[in-house]
Structure 1
């Protein structure tokens, strides 16, 4: 019984693997998909799109309408064996995961990639810093009017002298 069980098991496994669909063979990394860089963006960011699915000398048309952007073109990159393109995520884009697609001009092959839009995170544009003064209504230590500044300094000097005199009287026991 043992001798027939092993060949039957091996035969059953061989048939099971033969029935599985074969995965397509690709010439290199990223040849069957659309690569997005960066994959996580905030509204207003620029996204670089790459694919090797259309061949090194082909062209493709990209579709970013799912995220609210227009179509874009992909052209051969610099000696990389792939196509490159760019699009900008509109400022009105809502958070979520969007499918970005590209269709090859030769044969109409369609490749896709996922883009994640969030409202938090780092923006790829250089940061802008605030300039100028803050209008709080309080004013600065040295205002534009020197008369008011002098009056303020005099009032502080009188208050300091009066406080010192009162503390000195109290310490001697004269009372307030």
Structure 2
């Protein structure tokens, strides 16, 4: 009973931890009121365009963005494709140095201040690559990839299996070898 309780408790904790994980695709920052500034992509190289959006300014809201920390200056967030979202864009200057920079936006209505982090690096982020090709393990492959040789090997194994079965059958009947 205790083992089942521990298992269920551990599973519940794992599910709860997974539920609060932040997706890797966007950087999030927040003020004390719970709004956030989403930055896409969250990691860039100098000279790259960056899109910023938020729902913190409310339906049809606008905001003034400030990317001065990275050297890009001010930009405007206007109502985006979704009604509850304000979106804007700026370009990271080619002279930007590697580091993490705070991007700030302030809503036009209410003056709410929201932040997010942008990571600038000299090398572009590497995307995972799916493996392809064969792996040299040292197991098998004695006949090579030639289909004729493979067929000959399979035939030899079949003859050996049939002969062994025949000999065992004769021995079981008492005919001897």
TM-score, normalised with respect to structure 2: 0.51
Match of 2:58 in 1: 55
Distance 1:63 1:79 in 2: 22
Match of 2:49 in 1: 46
Distance 1:116 1:110 in 2: 20
Shift of 1:81: 1.5
Shift of 1:122: 5.3
Distance 1:79 1:62 in 2: 19
4+ residue stretches of structure 1 with deviation over 3 A? none
Shift of 1:113: 0.2
RMSD between aligned residues: 2.0
Greater Rg over alpha carbons, structure: 1
Matched residue SS, 1:97: strand
Shift of 1:80: 4.3
Matched residue SS, 1:50: strand
- Unaligned regions of 5+ residues in structure 1, if any? 1-28, 124-176
User: Number of residues paired by the alignment?
Assistant: 95
Match of 1:70 in 2: 73
Match of 2:105 in 1: 102
TM-score, normalised with respect to structure 1: 0.51
Shift of 1:79: 2.8
Distance 1:104 1:64 in 2: 15
Distance 2:83 2:121 in 1: 31
